[in-house]
Structure 1
């Protein structure tokens, strides 16, 4: 668990072996050291981003649940948890699942605490506009957190108030999928007017909310709104452009490029853990997982991967081991975690337009992504052909990001593409430790 900002007084901390609702008194907010003024509020906001980028969340485990489940990444190491995921033998005791669940709820609890305390603060240095900005960031990050929970686990418990005592937020049943998604939209809607319209790659702004709403509406099959919100970002060409070639958004130690809509920044004292699992031992990693032969073939095919072949490399002979190199930089662990990029907005709009019968403009959006990657332009001209082409494009555009598995589940393509016919396996298990700690929490069927 990262605490480079040393925000323990401002965070509802949780033990890894107990439920997030069953908080021990010594791990709750210490009222004598809580958010009381501008400086402590700012520190707590930093802590919120720290939570989002923690090892359990976007710093490693949550993205890995997607790409290890998605069929393109093989387990190559010694840990049993990723092996369970790639071999389709996931259990409710899986450490990756537990870590991700707990990290996401810790992020939510941090957001709740900010939303409760900041409006009441009386500090001249904390202006009304700054209070609004902080609340907007908290709402948006809580929305993202619940979005990730619902696409991973289905309907979940909606914890919307700060946890200060063991009795707070107890007895809450799981909400439906529809109600959980409704909370996501409610939070995004609340966030939007509170935020400034500036451009930032590392902090939440109104533009970040627009991008997240485009993704939200795609998942809810609300095609008109998905197109509208994606266009808000794509049409802002002064601030958002596809980096060309593909590697230009991450190679040579660059960060916060025009390609990026929202990424988590890391430092030498607050590390992104992804590199450890991708890089081979010769590059100071463990290579617990790696692109499988099928993905290597796709990325190296100039008609498919184009210049996205730069995402992978091989170790020297005699090993000749393929590995992913999205997370690579020195100092180790200072790579950004990419939460949403402009190419996703193009593919969101392409899919929405295809669903709306706008095949010509849908093809143009798809080809914007392919052109950037140096791949031949697609000739897909029907709705069905476009949807399959967009799916294939996502596969090679985001192979090491949080996309493949969730995208296949969203589109109902898991059985066809991966051969997984048990629909119970389309959601993750609720960690057993959480079930044991909270009698109100129920397990997903099949686990």
Structure 2
């Protein structure tokens, strides 16, 4: 536990809890479905802080980083198998997702609800006249809202491509109803615009659960890697790696085993208390003998990689066997379901910088970063003779380092390797379909992505 101006992880207020119901149309959000849908709701310091807690709550919702959005990233890769019977989940494994897929709709709606809460905060907090709300706290609240909105638009862009950009709050039915879908470049540009706005407003401190200037730098490093801007990706990754308060912990499972949370490994994670705030990942991964459903599990290829001492090393602790001798994922295991959702870890920054430096032909420096991650996993340093060999090694290292985190699909799409590795022969499937109900609402404004 940590002390701060207020605790993000405390049980949220009744105001926040009453806004979790899903809305059918993100552009036509009913007032009850969005926090602070009236300017009169956020009136003072206390209500502004309550609104911010609600924003983090939305980020950790089951539809967003609580389960659905993350599952898109790992079910669509080549590490996970589906053991249940729901055909809509198998669509991700087969990489043949349909527009009526419930997970797609859940993630889309959850992300736009998060954006709407951020929009309400950004509109209202500037207008607060409360002597107890210091300007530094006002700036911090605004900065955190910008950061989360920037993360949301980044996630929308890499999942769906171009989407509608909504930056004003939905206060009544019909607000923002005529916002058209934009291009993927415009959607990414909005993400960067929000991160740029957040950066000067936030303190340069360490907080594993809340956005700070350093959290912005970490996400910018990821953003620039996706944009193939390797100089900037290197620059922002270095800002984080240079801070000794972020560390690659040994052994590998030190950041999640034995109920660990908020460790030096973590740059940004989400807290769940297991009662009013539950991380639904646990139920999906754990076997029936541990009170879960094991509806998704590591496939044979991943199990082989993780248990190979020359590849997985101590990362083999990500998987375990149940009483029926079946492998299951063990990143999420706590009872009650209070496991954090890991959004950014320091290992990612090392591998971002390794890739960025390899792309800049700084091969020795790239190997140093790659080998730092390998050393933490109990593996020997490697050598490579060419840029192409190093890049492939980094790709393979990311596969096992983030085996149960939502990186694999997005990695292969951004590097243009999804066809070769995953046999995605229809290029339109590199982005997912806009949910069918959104297209039905107004296909002229939000047309379906090409091919679907």
Does TM, normalized by the shorter one, top 0.5? yes
Q: List aligned pairs for 1:277-288, cutoff 5 A.
A: 277-288=284-295
Give 5+ residue unaligned stretches, structure 1: none
The verdict on how the C-alpha distance between 1:255 and 1:109 changes in structure 2, with shifts beyond 3 A counting, is same
Q: List aligned pairs for 1:196-345, cutoff 5 A.
A: 196-237=203-244, 239-268=245-274, 269-316=276-323, 319-330=324-335, 332-345=336-349
Aligned to 1:63: 70
Tell me, in whole angstroms, the C-alpha distance in 2 between the residues paired with 1:235 and 1:217. Answer: 18
Aligned to 2:3: none
Aligned to 2:364: 360
Return the offset for 1:140.
0.5
Tell me, in whole angstroms, the C-alpha distance in 2 between the residues paired with 1:31 and 1:241. Answer: 43
Return the offset for 1:32.
8.2
Tell me, in whole angstroms, the C-alpha distance in 1 between the residues paired with 2:100 and 2:61. Answer: 20
Aligned to 2:5: none
Return the offset for 1:33.
6.2
Aligned to 1:111: 118
Aligned to 2:451: 446
Aligned to 1:127: 134
Secondary structure class of the residue paired with 2:283? helix
Secondary structure class of the residue paired with 1:120? coil
Q: List aligned pairs for 1:381-392, cutoff 5 A.
A: 381-392=385-396
Tell me, in whole angstroms, the C-alpha distance in 2 between the residues paired with 1:21 and 1:30. Answer: 13
Secondary structure class of the residue paired with 1:31? coil
Tell me, in whole angstroms, the C-alpha distance in 2 between the residues paired with 1:264 and 1:9. Answer: 16
How many pairs were matched up?
441
2:424 to 409, 420, 423: 420
Q: Is the 8 A contact 2:37 2:172 kept in 1?
A: no
Aligned to 2:6: none
The verdict on how the C-alpha distance between 1:32 and 1:130 changes in structure 2, with shifts beyond 3 A counting, is closer
Q: Is the 8 A contact 1:360 1:381 kept in 2?
A: no
Aligned to 2:351: 347
Q: List aligned pairs for 1:149-228, cutoff 5 A.
A: 149-228=156-235
Aligned to 1:406: 410
Residue deviations 1:111-147, cap 9 Å, x none? 0000000011011221100000000000000000000
Return the offset for 1:442.
1.1
Secondary structure class of the residue paired with 2:389? helix
Residue deviations 1:422-446, cap 9 Å, x none? 1111011110111122341111112
Q: Is the 8 A contact 1:363 1:381 kept in 2?
A: no
Q: CA RMSD in A?
A: 1.7
Return the offset for 1:11.
8.3
Q: Is the 8 A contact 1:3 1:50 kept in 2?
A: no
1:92 to 99, 106, 111: 99
Give 5+ residue unaligned stretches, structure 2: 1-8
1:20 to 23, 26, 41: 26
Q: Is the 8 A contact 1:7 1:43 kept in 2?
A: no
Tell me, in whole angstroms, the C-alpha distance in 2 between the residues paired with 1:152 and 1:210. Answer: 22
Aligned to 1:394: 398
Secondary structure class of the residue paired with 1:185? helix
Q: Is the 8 A contact 1:7 1:47 kept in 2?
A: no
1:101 aligns with 2:108: yes
TM-score, normalised on structure 1? 0.95
Residue deviations 1:378-405, cap 9 Å, x none? 2123210110000000000001112000
TM-score, normalised on structure 2? 0.94
